[in-house]
Structure 1
Amino acid sequence: MRVLLVSDSHGRNQNMEKVIRKVSPVDLLIHLGDLEGSEGYLEAIAPCPVEMVAGNNDFFSRLPREKVITIGRHQIFMTHGHNYYVNYGYGELRAAAKSRGCDYAFFGHIHRPVLDDTEEVTVVNPGSISLPRQDNRRPSYAILNVNRKGDFDIEIYYL
């Protein structure tokens, strides 16, 4: 199984289209919020099922603010992250994930890629596909490759 992980497109979908073309085929697409009204568009262009959560700029969205999904043998807590003060660290995010029985927390909001497996709950942020804030300012996304045992590896990529 191959999963595309994106966040913070903010209604600017050109890079989303590029990434989908570049990495397809994928079995699942996960968007971690701040779509700004592009939910239907993303579902229409995605070549696979889509899981989404609302971000702090998704004011009128009917998407859930957070959810738990299973990928392989792992439970994943999905949230945009703004309610867990992710700009100041990942402690509250990890605690929220752990309280829901999750060993991974996928989030967005900070517009910078993160892959931190130094504690019991691994935190993953694909960065922003449209408005990156890290030093190189390149749009980023993540790919999860799930093996037959249900484990996966995660890599961050840049456009």
Structure 2
Amino acid sequence: MKILVISDSHGKNGRMELAIEQESPMDLIIHLGDLEGGEDLLEAIAPCPVEIVCGNNDFFAPYPREKVIEVGGIRIFVCHGHNYGVSYGTQRLAEAARQQNCQVAMYGHTHCPDIEEYGDVTVVNPGSISYPRQKNRRPSYMIMNIDDQKKPSFLIYYMTANMGSKY
């Protein structure tokens, strides 16, 4: 299974559209919050099912703050991360995922891509597709693959700064 994981598009949808176009076909898209108005577009252009959670800037969006989804035999705890203090570390998020019997926790909010292992829980952040904050300042997203043995793998993809800049 191939899953596109994006976060923090903040209403700038050009790179989100480009990532969907480049990575299709896929089985699922997960958006980790701070869409700020891109919900309708995302659901309209998605070539597959979409899972969305609210971020701290999605004030009136009708999505939950967090959820547990099961994909390809893997339980995933999905949230934006701000309610777990991810700017100061991801241990609390890993523990919340563990309490929900999840093998993976996904979050956004920091705008920095990251993959961390906490024993039986992998914690991942695709970074921001619109406003990156990591050292190279390149927009990013993540592909999660689940193989036939139900083993997940994660790859971070960096976009060039001008990709989708017309939006």
| TM-score normalised by L of structure 1 | 0.97
Instruction: Give distance in 2, aligned partners of 1:23 and 1:140.
Output: 13
Provide, for residues 115-143 of structure 1, a one-character-per-residue CA deviation record: whole Å limited to 9, x for no partner: 11243311000000000000000000000
RMSD of aligned residue pairs (Cα, Å): 0.9
Give yes or no for the alignment of 1:13 onto 2:13. Answer: yes
Instruction: Give distance in 2, aligned partners of 1:34 and 1:112.
Output: 14
How far the C-alpha of 1:151 sits from its partner, in A, is 1.6
Residue number in structure 2 paired with 1:69: 69
Aligned residues: 159
Instruction: Give distance in 1, aligned partners of 2:48 and 2:6.
Output: 14
List aligned pairs for 1:27-66, cutoff 5 A.
27-66=27-66
Provide, for residues 5-33 of structure 1, a one-character-per-residue CA deviation record: whole Å limited to 9, x for no partner: 00000010000011111111111000000
Q: In the alignment, is the contact (CA less than 8 A) between 1:74 and 1:102 conserved in 2?
A: yes
How far the C-alpha of 1:54 sits from its partner, in A, is 0.3
Provide, for residues 68-93 of structure 1, a one-character-per-residue CA deviation record: whole Å limited to 9, x for no partner: 01122221100000000000001111
Q: In the alignment, is the contact (CA less than 8 A) between 1:71 and 1:150 conserved in 2?
A: no
- Consecutive unaligned residues of structure 1, counting only runs of 5 or more, are none
Provide, for residues 23-77 of structure 1, a one-character-per-residue CA deviation record: whole Å limited to 9, x for no partner: 1111100000000121111000111110000000000011000000112222110
Moved more, 19-28 or 48-57: 19-28
* Identical-residue share of aligned pairs (%): 57
Residue number in structure 2 paired with 1:105: 105
Query: Counterpart of 1:24 in structure 2: which amino acid?
Result: S
Give yes or no for the alignment of 1:24 onto 2:34. Answer: no
Instruction: Give distance in 2, aligned partners of 1:48 and 1:72.
Output: 15
Residue number in structure 1 paired with 2:163: none
Instruction: Give distance in 2, aligned partners of 1:24 and 1:108.
Output: 22
Give yes or no for the alignment of 1:4 onto 2:26. Answer: no
Moved more, 112-121 or 41-50: 112-121
Aligned to 1:117, the other structure's residue is in SS state strand
Residue number in structure 1 paired with 2:165: none
Residue number in structure 2 paired with 1:89: 89
| TM-score normalised by L of structure 2 | 0.92
How far the C-alpha of 1:149 sits from its partner, in A, is 2.0
Query: Counterpart of 1:119 in structure 2: which amino acid?
Result: G
Q: In the alignment, is the contact (CA less than 8 A) between 1:9 and 1:131 conserved in 2?
A: yes
- Consecutive unaligned residues of structure 2, counting only runs of 5 or more, are 160-167
Aligned to 1:55, the other structure's residue is in SS state coil
Residue number in structure 2 paired with 1:136: 136
Aligned to 1:94, the other structure's residue is in SS state helix
